[in-house]
Amino acid sequence: MNRLAVMTIFMFFGCQFAVAAEPEQQARDLNAIRASLDSYVAAYNRGDAKAAAHHWSDTGEWISPAGDRVQGREAVEKAMGDFFSNNKGVKIEALDHSVRLVTSDVAVAEGTARVIGPDQPPSDSTYIAICVQREGKWQLDSVRETSLPGSTPARVPLEELAWMVGQWVDQSAESTVETSVTWTKNKSFLSCSFKVSVPEMADLEGTQVIGWDPTAGKIRSWMFDSDGGFGEGVWTRKDNRWTVKFTQVLSDGRKASATNIYTCVDADHYTWQSIGRQIDGQFAPNIDEVSVVRKEASQPVPAGNEK
C-alpha cells in the first residue's frame, strides 16, 4: 500500500513540537498544533488530497521504501489523490515519534506510523523527515519511509494485554486502589473492576472493559464509575509500555481528558501514571508514576515504593 499521505501528519506535526522555548510560546504552539492536527486528520479521513498536501513545502520530496520518488507539492497532491481513490476508508494512527531541532528553522522527526484499511490488516512503517520553517509555518521538505517486516499485529491483539489478568493493588498513605482483571468468554474482552478507597471518603468503584476494535484496527476501552461518570480510551503500544488516550464525562457533566501510561515491569509489577490531565479545558495536576503489584505478592508494600 502506498503510504505517502500517512507520513504527512506525523512529520508535519512532530516537527512543530521542537519549536517552542518559552512557556507562553509553547502554549500557543501546542494550541496551533492541536488545531492543525485536527484539520489534517479530518482532511485525510474525508479523502481531501489538496488540504492534506498543503502541509508540504513547494519542493517537498517523499521517497518510498521501494525507492520511488515524489517531488513537489503538486505531485504529492496527485499521489495522495490516487491513494485515496484506491483505498476508500483508510485511516491513520501515530504509534510514536521523536523530534530534534537542528536550527531555529530546521527540525528532524523520526517515528513509526500505522495505516488501517477497512479490508486488510494494519501495516506499520518507520520514517525520517526534515521539516523547515518558512514564513512562520513549518512544512515537510523531505520524507523517507521504510516498511517494517512482519509489522502486522498479532492474530488476537488483545492477548498482548494478558499480563494484566489478576488481582492488583496500589497502596499508599493517601489511598488504596484495588483492581481485578479477568477474561470474558472466548477471551473477547478484558473486564476490569476497581475500587478506590480514601480515608474519610466514600469508596469509588467502577468497571473498565477493554477490547479489540477490528474496524479501527486498535484496542479500545470503556469505563463506568459509581459516581455516574463514564469514559473511553484508545490504546497504543511501544515495547512494554501502553499509552491510553482517555476522555471522560464526569457525573456533573464536565468533560475531562488525560494520557494514562501503563508500563509492564515484570509478571507481578507494573507502573501507572497520568499526564496531560484537563477538566473543561483547564489543566489539572499530573499523577506521578505509581507502582502496582499483584495482590498475592503485595503484602507488605515496601515503604516509599508506592509512587
Q: pLDDT above 90 covers what percent of the chain?
A: 32
CA distance 152 to 134: 37
Please report the pLDDT score of residue 56 as a whole number: 80
If asked whether residues 132 and 163 sit together in one domain, one would say no
Say whether pLDDT at 31 is over 60: no
Q: What is the number of alpha carbons within 13 Å of residue 145 lying toward its C-beta?
A: 27
Question: Is residue 86 assigned to a domain?
Answer: yes
Say whether pLDDT at 152 is over 90: no
Residue with more model confidence, 301 or 140 = 140
CA distance 220 to 229: 17
Q: Count the Cβ atoms, other than its own, within 10 Å of residue 277.
A: 17
> Residues 269-292: what's their mean pLDDT?
91
Q: Count the Cβ atoms, other than its own, within 10 Å of residue 162.
A: 13
If asked whether residues 9 and 142 sit together in one domain, one would say yes
Please report the pLDDT score of residue 175 as a whole number: 82
If asked whether residues 85 and 206 sit together in one domain, one would say no
Q: What is the number of alpha carbons within 13 Å of residue 202 lying toward its C-beta?
A: 5
Please report the pLDDT score of residue 262 as a whole number: 95
Q: How confident is the model at residue 213 (pLDDT cuts 50, 70, 90)?
A: confident
Please report the pLDDT score of residue 193 as a whole number: 94
Question: Is residue 306 assigned to a domain?
Answer: no
Say whether pLDDT at 305 is over 70: no
Residues 45 and 37: beta-carbon distance below 8 Å: no
Q: Which three cell numbers stand for residue 284?
A: 489539572
Residue where the block lists cell 477474561: 183
- What domain range is 58 assigned to? 4-147
If asked whether residues 9 and 143 sit together in one domain, one would say yes
CATH number of the structural domain spanning residue 288: 2.40.128.20
Q: How confident is the model at residue 149 (pLDDT cuts 50, 70, 90)?
A: low
Please report the pLDDT score of residue 248 as a whole number: 94
Say whether pLDDT at 279 is over 90: yes
If asked whether residues 131 and 168 sit together in one domain, one would say no
If asked whether residues 68 and 192 sit together in one domain, one would say no
> Residues 34-62: what's their mean pLDDT?
76
> Residues 22-33: what's their mean pLDDT?
52
Average pLDDT, the chain: 77
> Residues 21-37: what's their mean pLDDT?
52
Q: How confident is the model at residue 119 (pLDDT cuts 50, 70, 90)?
A: low
Residue with more model confidence, 189 or 36 = 189
Please report the pLDDT score of residue 96 as a whole number: 67
If asked whether residues 137 and 10 sit together in one domain, one would say yes
The number of folded domains in the chain is 2
Picking from 9-23, 27-41, 139-153, which range would have the lowest pLDDT averaged per residue? 9-23
If asked whether residues 133 and 195 sit together in one domain, one would say no
Please report the pLDDT score of residue 10 as a whole number: 36
Question: Is residue 14 assigned to a domain?
Answer: yes
pLDDT per residue as tens digits for the range 65-112: 667 889 998 998 998 899 888 888 888 776 666 666 566 676 667 777
If asked whether residues 139 and 161 sit together in one domain, one would say no
